[in-house]
């Protein structure tokens, strides 16, 4: 049909009150009002008809979600109740923990929303990044094992297999367990808390410090004493084999070394259980320093007779036993002695501290005072200690002690003279023997001294006359073109002495300057009347060689350590 002439009907249109299906109308209520059942585009009022009604935020005329206006006529967005791309859910609200959280992810750890019992949620399942995969802050005790933790059981209970510091329950993890006294996070012994997690002490089962043993208790007579000293029962006989009373009140009358030698030397901390029984019995024990450094040994006697109810470390008092300790050399010479440990209060057990050079041996001779009564049971305890270098006192084994342990100041950190040399043995005839007269000796020879090599300038030589009968020979040469004067001085390196300090009567040296034929060209016995070390000077022509011959006056006693100071100076 064609409309156009005057009086013709108007063409169909939306809003004319007639539904024109051909024009795509589904309704036509004759007005342009939306939301009244038939909207202004002649479609039934509804979401998706392309008309935004009062209860719609948008309407793009389709029911496609995610295109900007979703099928419920709300803009595509999380929380509009329509689940679109990248959303795991959409419950139409912004409430968390109701199954679908405000970020449109299903409620759960790792969705990036902190909900319920979660303390954090960083949106991933990584642990150790500050928020672990159980949505708790990264920390020991959160139940997630992260870097630096050996375990994590999610609690702060110790002793359940994983302790509060997230280490496996056990000694050395730094947490004191039920069966531990201490725990310092290591298995080092002697640092206050030992590797069995008990306090460092005698009786804890760990041998530390000055302990010779530690059997885990403080019971004596079980091989390891209450003071952690090895308990050894004396071997008899250990004196001359025929003990009898009648000895001098201090020194006894049965000293001998053959049996003590056969029994063997003690070389470390020890406690010896012994008796002086019957009356007149005496004991001799051999002690040797096997180490490279001098040692102080303290020898003490204690009453360990069970009837006395005393023991090691308990004063003997004045009415239990009365011992004497004598320190002797192999010849029986008395080196040190003690009767009573103290006079006030009176303490009749004994104590002696004696220094031993490396390799040196002494014999501890224990007697009963007056050698007339039996002693049923006593202990001889020997403790060892290093010589304290750096205290300013020249002690056994030290060549010097300047009050510090610094190197480079003339006296080393180990109390040895810096710049000194040590004698090379043999340097005499190779077979030293006693029997020389005065300071002349009887072992002079030049072959070994020549092999060792001549001294050609200022030198400090550290030597010893040991054993008795030993002698030292040193060659000296003038490599220059003018005559020089050579000054030789011997010095004692005994405790309390040193280079430049008078020897007094501590040692007694002799000194000769000889030619290759042994002719004495100069000699010295005593530096002064009060100083028994030697001193002399002699001229040395260019290319000439002479020999210093050092002896012990009498050729019958050892000298543990001495220094020969050599000074070359121009001849006037």
Q: Which residues pair with 286 in a beta bridge?
A: 363
Question: Quick one: pLDDT at residue 9?
Answer: 67
Question: Quick one: pLDDT at residue 2?
Answer: 45
Structure tokens belonging to residue 538: 């002699």
Question: Quick one: pLDDT at residue 231?
Answer: 80
| 331 has a pLDDT exceeding 90 | yes
Structure tokens belonging to residue 229: 């000293």
Percentage above 90 pLDDT, the chain: 66
Using pLDDT thresholds of 50, 70 and 90, give the confidence band for residue 227.
confident
**pLDDT, average across residues 350-367:** 95
420-570: CATH number: 2.60.120.380
Question: Quick one: pLDDT at residue 1?
Answer: 42
Q: Is 528 exposed, middle or buried (0-12, 13-18, 19+ CB in 10 A)?
A: exposed
Using pLDDT thresholds of 50, 70 and 90, give the confidence band for residue 148.
very high
DSSP assigned state of 306? G
| 3 has a pLDDT exceeding 60 | no
Three-point CA angle 457, 423, 427, nearest 5°: 100
User: Cα–Cα distance between 252 and 276 in angstroms, integer?
Assistant: 12
pLDDT, tens only, 50-70: 888 888 899 898 989 889 898
| Whole-angstrom Cα Rg for the chain | 51
User: Cα–Cα distance between 154 and 132 in angstroms, integer?
Assistant: 12
Question: Quick one: pLDDT at residue 8?
Answer: 60
Question: Quick one: pLDDT at residue 435?
Answer: 94
Find how far residue 557's CA is from the centre of its chain.
42
Do 286 and 315 form a contact (C-beta atoms < 8 A)? no
Q: Which residue has the tokens 């001495």?
A: 562
Find how far residue 276's CA is from the centre of its chain.
42
Average pLDDT taken over every residue of the chain: 91
| 5 has a pLDDT exceeding 60 | no
pLDDT, tens only, 68-88: 898 899 898 998 889 988 888
**pLDDT, average across residues 464-469:** 93
- 522: helix, coil or strand? strand
Give residue 30's region: left, alpha or beta (phi > 0; psi -120 to 50): left
Exposed e or buried b for every residue in 38-74, given b needs 16+ CB within 10 A? bbbbbbebebbbebbbeebeebeeeeebeeebbbbbb
Q: Which residue has the tokens 């793009």?
A: 60
User: Cα–Cα distance between 231 and 270 in angstroms, integer?
Assistant: 7
User: Cα–Cα distance between 50 and 44 in angstroms, integer?
Assistant: 10
- Positions of CATH 2.60.120.380 in the chain: 231-386, 420-570
Using pLDDT thresholds of 50, 70 and 90, give the confidence band for residue 397.
confident
**pLDDT, average across residues 431-459:** 96
User: Cα–Cα distance between 197 and 180 in angstroms, integer?
Assistant: 5
**pLDDT, average across residues 358-363:** 94
Higher-pLDDT residue of 308 and 149 is: 149
| 339 has a pLDDT exceeding 50 | yes
User: If residue 263 lies in a helix (H) or strand (E), which one and from where to where?
Assistant: helix 258-263
Nearest to 14 by CA among 36, 34, 29, 35: 29
231-386: CATH number: 2.60.120.380
Do 311 and 305 form a contact (C-beta atoms < 8 A)? no
User: Cα–Cα distance between 97 and 113 in angstroms, integer?
Assistant: 9
Q: How many CB atoms lie within 10 A of CB 121?
A: 21
């Amino acid at each position: 049909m064609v409309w156009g002439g005057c009086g013709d009907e108007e063409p169909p249109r939306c809003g004319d009150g007639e539904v024109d299906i051909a024009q795509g109308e589904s309704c036509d209520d004759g007005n342009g009002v939306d939301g009244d059942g038939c909207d202004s585009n002649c479609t039934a009022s509804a979401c998706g008809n392309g008309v935004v009604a009062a209860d719609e935020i948008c309407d793009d005329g389709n029911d496609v979600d995610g295109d900007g206006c979703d099928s419920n006529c709300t803009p595509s967005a999380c929380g509009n109740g329509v689940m679109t791309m990248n959303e795991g859910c959409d419950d139409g609200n912004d409430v968390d923990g109701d199954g679908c959280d405000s970020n449109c992810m299903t409620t759960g750890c790792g969705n990036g929303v902190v909900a319920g019992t979660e303390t954090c949620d960083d949106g991933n399942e990584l642990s150790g990044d500050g928020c672990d995969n159980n949505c708790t802050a990264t920390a020991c005790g959160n139940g997630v094992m992260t870097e630096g933790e050996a375990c994590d059981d999610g609690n702060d209970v110790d002793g359940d297999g994983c302790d509060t510091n997230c280490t496996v329950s056990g000694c050395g993890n730094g947490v004191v367990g039920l069966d531990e006294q201490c725990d310092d996070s290591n298995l080092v012994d002697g640092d206050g808390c030992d590797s069995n997690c008990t306090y460092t002490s005698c009786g804890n089962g760990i041998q530390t410090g000055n302990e010779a043993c530690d059997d885990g208790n403080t019971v004596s007579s079980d091989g390891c004493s209450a003071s952690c000293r090895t308990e050894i029962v004396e071997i008899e006989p250990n004196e001359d084999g025929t003990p009898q009373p009648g000895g001098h009140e201090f020194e006894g009358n049965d000293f001998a070394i053959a049996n003590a030698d056969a029994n063997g030397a003690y070389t470390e901390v020890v406690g010896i259980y012994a008796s002086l029984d019957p009356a007149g019995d005496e004991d001799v024990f051999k002690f040797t320093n096997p180490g490279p450094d001098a040692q102080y040994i303290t020898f003490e006697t204690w009453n360990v007779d069970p009837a006395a109810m005393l023991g090691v470390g308990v004063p003997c008092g004045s009415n239990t036993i009365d011992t004497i300790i004598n320190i002797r050399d192999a010849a029986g010479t008395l080196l040190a002695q003690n009767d009573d440990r103290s006079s006030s209060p009176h303490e009749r057990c004994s104590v002696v501290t004696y220094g031993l050079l490396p390799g040196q041996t002494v014999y501890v001779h224990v007697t009963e005072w007056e050698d007339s009564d039996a002693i049923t049971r006593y202990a001889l305890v020997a403790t060892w200690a290093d010589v304290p270098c750096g205290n300013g006192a020249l002690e056994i084994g030290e060549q010097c002690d300047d009050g510090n342990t610094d190197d480079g100041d003339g006296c080393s950190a180990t109390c040895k003279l810096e710049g000194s040399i040590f004698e090379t043995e043999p340097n005499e005839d190779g077979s030293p023997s006693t029997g020389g007269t005065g300071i002349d000796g009887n072992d002079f020879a030049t072959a070994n001294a020549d092999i060792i090599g001549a001294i050609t300038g200022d030198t400090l030589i550290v030597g010893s006359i040991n054993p008795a009968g030993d002698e030292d020979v040193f060659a000296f040469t003038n490599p220059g073109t003018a005559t020089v004067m050579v000054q030789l001085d011997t010095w004692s390196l005994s405790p309390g002495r040193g280079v430049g300090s008078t020897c007094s009567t501590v040692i007694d040296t002799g000194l000769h300057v000889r030619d290759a034929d042994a002719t004495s060209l100069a000699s010295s016995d005593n530096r002064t009347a009060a100083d028994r070390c030697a001193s002399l000077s002699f001229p040395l022509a260019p290319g000439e060689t002479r020999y210093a011959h050092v002896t012990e006056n009498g050729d019958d006693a050892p000298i543990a350590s001495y220094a020969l100071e050599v000074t070359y100076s121009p001849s006037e």
